[in-house]
């Protein structure tokens, strides 16, 4: 299944979904491989005090900003499913984890191995500097012609794993997993998925 077909299938499921978590998951998938990334960015921007939690009001505002019109009952159901002690709000990383299409252990290990390979500094972020240690774009036609710098091309490459609302040329492990979890949904065979991931990165 291509990304376009996945988006169409998710749009159809969205019409049939009654559970708010399922609605949100299908809405993310209907946005393509980067849908979940975009929602994660929305939540992280709202988390101004870096507490990794969202209040019910912040959750409601975040979902609305993402483009979904949820009823108060939908928000209450979502919030109560993840809120633990009645006062601290919900941990949105756990929330995003629940939304993410599941990858089994072999697939997740393959993606994590690639990220570790790319993260040369071991700081949990893949940057342009990390990529320079793995790839060289010096012979790219645009670089040779002086139309672009190597750094610009590598940053553009990293942008593929980020949401359109926040492209800083830095990809976290979570963003990397979010991207591949959507891709994983389109590939039924584990061995094929792992080979696609490894071949894409020359492993």
Same domain, 49 and 125: no
Same domain, 65 and 110: no
Instruction: Give pLDDT, residue 109.
Output: 92
pLDDT in tens, the chain (203 residues): 567 777 888 888 888 888 888 888 888 888 877 787 788 888 888 877 777 888 888 889 888 988 888 999 999 988 888 877 666 788 887 888 788 777 889 989 999 998 998 888 888 888 878 877 677 667 777 777 887 777 777 777 777 776 544 556 778 888 888 888 877 776 777 888 888 888 877 77
Same domain, 130 and 93: no
Same domain, 112 and 160: yes
Same domain, 45 and 61: yes
Same domain, 167 and 195: yes
Same domain, 53 and 135: no
Same domain, 119 and 68: no
Q: Tell me the CATH number at 153.
A: 1.10.238.10
Instruction: Give pLDDT, residue 113.
Output: 92
Final residue of a domain: which of 50, 66, 99?
99
Final residue of a domain: which of 73, 99, 125?
99
Alpha helices in the chain (DSSP H): 3-16, 20-30, 35-46, 56-66, 72-82, 92-99, 105-118, 128-132, 141-144, 150-159, 173-185, 190-200
Query: What domain count does the chain have?
Result: 2
Final residue of a domain: which of 80, 99, 118?
99
Same domain, 18 and 90: yes
Same domain, 111 and 95: no
Same domain, 13 and 62: yes
Domain around 119: 105-200
- What b/e sequence results for 95-121 when a residue is b if at least 16 CB atoms lie within 10 Å of its CB, and e otherwise? bbeebbbebeeebeebbeebbebbbee
User: pLDDT for 49-94, tens place per residue?
Assistant: 777 888 888 889 888 988 888 999 999 988 888 877 666 788 887 8
Same domain, 10 and 83: yes
CB neighbour list of residue 69: distance below 8 Å, 6 or more residues apart: none
Q: Which of 98, 105, 60 is nearest to 79 (CA)?
A: 60
Instruction: Give pLDDT, residue 168.
Output: 67
The C-alpha angle with vertex 30 and arms to 190 and 152, in degrees rounded to 5, equals 80
């Amino acid at each position: 299944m291509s990304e376009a077909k996945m988006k169409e299938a998710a749009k159809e499921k969205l019409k049939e979904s009654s559970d708010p978590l399922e609605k949100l998951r299908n809405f993310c998938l209907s946005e393509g491989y980067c849908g979940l990334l975009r929602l994660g960015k929305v939540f992280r921007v709202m988390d101004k005090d870096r507490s990794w939690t969202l209040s019910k009001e912040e959750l409601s505002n975040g979902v609305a900003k993402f483009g979904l019109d949820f009823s108060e009952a939908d928000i209450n159901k979502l919030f109560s499913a993840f809120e633990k002690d009645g006062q601290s709000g919900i941990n949105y990383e756990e929330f995003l984890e629940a939304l993410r299409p599941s990858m089994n252990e072999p697939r997740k290990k393959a993606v994590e191995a690639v990220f570790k390979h790319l993260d040369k500094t071991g700081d949990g972020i893949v940057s342009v500097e990390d990529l320079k240690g793995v790839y060289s774009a010096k012979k790219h036609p645009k670089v040779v012609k002086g139309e672009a710098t190597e750094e610009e091309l590598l940053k553009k490459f990293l942008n593929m794993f980020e949401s359109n609302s926040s492209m800083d040329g830095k990809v976290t492990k979570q963003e990397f997993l979010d991207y591949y979890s959507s891709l994983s949904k389109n590939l039924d065979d584990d061995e094929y998925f792992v080979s696609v991931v490894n071949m894409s990165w020359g492993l």
